[in-house]
Structure 1
Amino acid sequence: MSGLKLRNVKKSFGSVNVIKGVDLDIEDKQFVVFVGPSGCGKSTLLRMIAGLEQISSGDLFIGDKRMNDVDPANRGIAMVFQSYALYPHMTVRENMGFALKFAGASKEEIAQRVGEAARILELGALLDRFPKQLSGGQRQRVAIGRAIVRHPDVFLFDEPLSNLDAELRVHMRIEIARLHKELQTTIIYVTHDQVEAMTLADKIVVLRDGIIEQAGSPLELYDNPDNLFVAGFIGSPKMNLLDGTAEAGGIRLADFPGQLLPSPVAVPAGTPVTVGIRPEHFDPEGAAALETKVEIIEHLGGETYAYARGEGRTLLTLATDNNRTLKPGDRYQARFHPSALLVFGKDGKRIR
């Protein structure tokens, strides 16, 4: 079992800087998720840890050993890719044991390790099938089993669920969480899906343009984002973000010019700000309110979302405690507690 350390790690492809200086500590047995939009560098960073991409500068440590120049096969790492990459002419049993056979392991050891992985992943009844006889979820479990049999110190997952349909993704998220609990090993997982990040991670690392915007527990990032990017990226539905200006008595929003909102933080008058509030933080008992007009209603069974506007173009998302009486065209007083507001400066950084 091993933790990892990255110290000022950078990666360039010619004159293009992709990873621009990453410092990160990953503890032993921790489940860490790299998340961010396409092109942010998360998969490149994972491949650098695996040894599939050379580190341009900086240092990577696994345990206490510097790994920059260590061959990928000797890093104690197993990687699960987005593509299952199973050998079609081999059975599940042969696919899972192939790396061990190639490494010269005995038949007894291969059988023992494959059997152990099959038990963990509930693949026992499928060991003699070929990949074409398996569903997408079953193939992904075989790919994970192929990694488990190697007994790695660190598992790397590169968007392993993106090829599955929505129902299977939910099921496989549960399977991967259970796998981590049983194996008690370090996992680094890459995804663009912040719901996967929130449900799986001990620590989320939010990346943008090759740098870490913020790292912390899911609830830490959800409740206390450091900047506008993290605030808007983490959470589903997304946080409502409204532009405004600080005044002596509070904040006046561009979309609600007739109302002066109490500010939860001290901001000099005349300062341009962006105010954030999550959809579920609207509360009928709140001391402050925004006067809105409902445009769209989404009834999702256990919850209802209203999409409403003030006098501007910004569409607010409001969780309404499953209010089934609202309809498009209604005037709606979106109440909230001022303490629920987050305030960001013109530079995008949180004002605390």
Structure 2
Amino acid sequence: MSAGVRLEGLRKSYGAVEVIRGVDLDIEPQEFVVFVGPSGCGKSTLLRMIAGLEEITGGDLYIGERRMNDTDASRRGIAMVFQSYALYPHMTVRENMGFALKYAGVKKPEIKAQVDEAARILGLDQLMDRRPKDLSGGQRQRVAIGRAIVRHPEVFLFDEPLSNLDAELRVQMRIEIARLHSELKSTIVYVTHDQVEAMTLADKIVVLRDGRIEQVGTPLDLYDDPDNLFVAGFIGSPKMNFLPAELSGGALTLVEHGGQTVPLPPLGRAPQEGERVTLGIRPEHFRKEGSAALEVDVEIVENLGGETYVYARQAGSDVLTIATGGARGLRQGDRMTARFDPSDALLFNREGLRIR
């Protein structure tokens, strides 16, 4: 049975250093929630506080309707999967998966039934008599997940579980974890620094910075409608282009692109004349058609087959990343016109907050 998780003003300090600064968050039963943010933002600390591996300095933690601040980790109804597999090297896959149940005094027939069911879900049936040294990285991670499944927790916690895998295995394991969530109908709280993992797995993403929540929403909500520069730059790959600009004569004059002007995006509130702002445009939103156009010089071209990334700039400007579907003929030093629709662009004020 899945349970929701509720954080109310949660705080964590190490002496005078506050690392989690009053976090409020509701996680619904059966929801897949991903914590993302740069290194040091507090995402793993927050997960460990939910798990009971870090003491709570202030605020309240609820799993289901039970306040868990002072409850031992073993009694919280959670199971955690770590970045390291933490398997017992002398035990077989079956023994690793059933160890916690054996330690808890569960009878052998029940252990076998639960381990066999977890093995079926994870496709480990043919590997049950192997030891960890005989398994690939992806197989070891599946065993670690299976060890969590057999406990039938109310909440699964994943702490960067794919970081040790190569790129191909990470893609495979993302599919496995998404399928697992769909089959088990479980509540999952998942930590990663990889926003691609967050976008592909999450029902809801929590973007953290400096121990605070910057924004919470579905992956597409954060992609389409970020609240600030930080979220806009963190969600999306390649990251959004940011162009310093100011309002002049009802249009945006780009400060670092030779004074070129582009139309304003549709806004409920236009900035003041002369106001300094930042225009955001995603690489994939450049198109052959569009009323906004930038003249730029090509510096680097990355041909990836189905897509091409062009890195270009005006003298003195930051590099502009442009995704194109068929610009294979471009070369370093070429002049190109990068067009986009103003309705695809976003605008941010001096403080980095979104102008809507």
| TM-score for the superposition, normalised by structure 2 | 0.98
Does 1:83 pair with 2:84?
yes
1:31 aligns to what?
Answer: 32
1:68 aligns to what?
Answer: 69
Q: CA deviation at 1:313?
A: 2.9
**Kept after mapping to 2: 8 A contact 1:299/1:322:** no
Does 1:136 pair with 2:137?
yes
Alpha-carbon distance in structure 1 between the residues aligned to 2:227 and 2:143: 39
Structure 1 stretches of 4+ moved >3 Å: none
Secondary structure in 1 matching 2:163: coil
Q: What is the identity, as a one-letter code, of the residue corresponding to 1:315?
A: V
Alpha-carbon distance in structure 2 between the residues aligned to 1:170 and 1:288: 36
2:349 aligns to what?
Answer: 345
Q: What is the identity, as a one-letter code, of the residue corresponding to 2:220?
A: L
Pick the aligned partner of 1:317 from 315, 321, 330: 321
1:99 aligns to what?
Answer: 100
Q: CA deviation at 1:311?
A: 2.9
2:192 aligns to what?
Answer: 191
1:276-287 equivalences under 5 Å are: 276-287=280-291
2:182 aligns to what?
Answer: 181
1:321-340 equivalences under 5 Å are: 321-340=325-344
Alpha-carbon distance in structure 1 between the residues aligned to 2:44 and 2:259: 47
**Kept after mapping to 2: 8 A contact 1:8/1:21:** yes
Secondary structure in 2 matching 1:346: coil
Alpha-carbon distance in structure 1 between the residues aligned to 2:259 and 2:36: 39
| TM-score for the superposition, normalised by structure 1 | 0.99
**Kept after mapping to 1: 8 A contact 2:94/2:115:** yes
Q: CA deviation at 1:298?
A: 0.7
Secondary structure in 1 matching 2:287: coil
Q: CA deviation at 1:157?
A: 0.2
Q: Deviations over 1:75-132 (max 9, x none)?
A: 1100000010000111100000000000000001100000000000000111101111
1:26-65 equivalences under 5 Å are: 26-65=27-66
Q: Cα RMSD between the aligned structures?
A: 0.8
1:304 aligns to what?
Answer: 308
Q: CA deviation at 1:226?
A: 0.4
Q: CA deviation at 1:254?
A: 1.4
**Kept after mapping to 1: 8 A contact 2:47/2:159:** yes
2:109 aligns to what?
Answer: 108
Q: What is the identity, as a one-letter code, of the residue corresponding to 2:24?
A: D
Q: What is the identity, as a one-letter code, of the residue corresponding to 1:142?
A: V
1:240-259 equivalences under 5 Å are: 240-259=241-260
Alpha-carbon distance in structure 2 between the residues aligned to 1:11 and 1:248: 49
1:150-189 equivalences under 5 Å are: 150-189=151-190
Structure 1 stretches lacking a partner, 5+ long: none
Most deviating of 316-325 and 219-228: 316-325
The aligned length equals: 352
Q: CA deviation at 1:301?
A: 0.7
Q: What is the identity, as a one-letter code, of the residue corresponding to 2:212?
A: I
Alpha-carbon distance in structure 2 between the residues aligned to 1:153 and 1:115: 20
Q: Deviations over 1:18-62 (max 9, x none)?
A: 000100010110000000000000000000000110111101111
Pick the aligned partner of 1:274 from 240, 258, 278: 278
Q: CA deviation at 1:329?
A: 1.2
Q: What is the identity, as a one-letter code, of the residue corresponding to 2:77?
A: G
Q: What is the identity, as a one-letter code, of the residue corresponding to 1:11?
A: K
Q: What is the identity, as a one-letter code, of the residue corresponding to 1:79?
A: M
Alpha-carbon distance in structure 2 between the residues aligned to 1:236 and 1:120: 32
Q: CA deviation at 1:322?
A: 2.2
Alpha-carbon distance in structure 2 between the residues aligned to 1:247 and 1:8: 43
Q: What is the identity, as a one-letter code, of the residue corresponding to 2:106?
A: A
**Kept after mapping to 2: 8 A contact 1:34/1:206:** yes
Secondary structure in 2 matching 1:189: strand
Q: CA deviation at 1:312?
A: 2.2
Q: CA deviation at 1:158?
A: 0.1
Q: What is the identity, as a one-letter code, of the residue corresponding to 1:244?
A: A
Q: What is the identity, as a one-letter code, of the residue corresponding to 1:294?
A: V
Secondary structure in 2 matching 1:232: helix
Q: What is the identity, as a one-letter code, of the residue corresponding to 1:345?
A: N
Structure 2 stretches lacking a partner, 5+ long: none
Most deviating of 247-256 and 71-80: 247-256
2:292 aligns to what?
Answer: 288
**Kept after mapping to 2: 8 A contact 1:249/1:260:** no
1:4 aligns to what?
Answer: 5
**Kept after mapping to 1: 8 A contact 2:257/2:317:** no
Secondary structure in 2 matching 1:145: helix
Q: CA deviation at 1:258?
A: 3.1
Secondary structure in 2 matching 1:61: strand
Q: CA deviation at 1:64?
A: 1.0
Alpha-carbon distance in structure 1 between the residues aligned to 2:249 and 2:189: 47
**Kept after mapping to 1: 8 A contact 2:222/2:231:** yes
Most deviating of 38-47 and 304-313: 304-313
2:231 aligns to what?
Answer: 230
Q: What is the identity, as a one-letter code, of the residue corresponding to 2:27?
A: I
Q: Deviations over 1:116-167 (max 9, x none)?
A: 0000000011110111111111100000000000000100000000011111
Alpha-carbon distance in structure 1 between the residues aligned to 2:249 and 2:75: 62
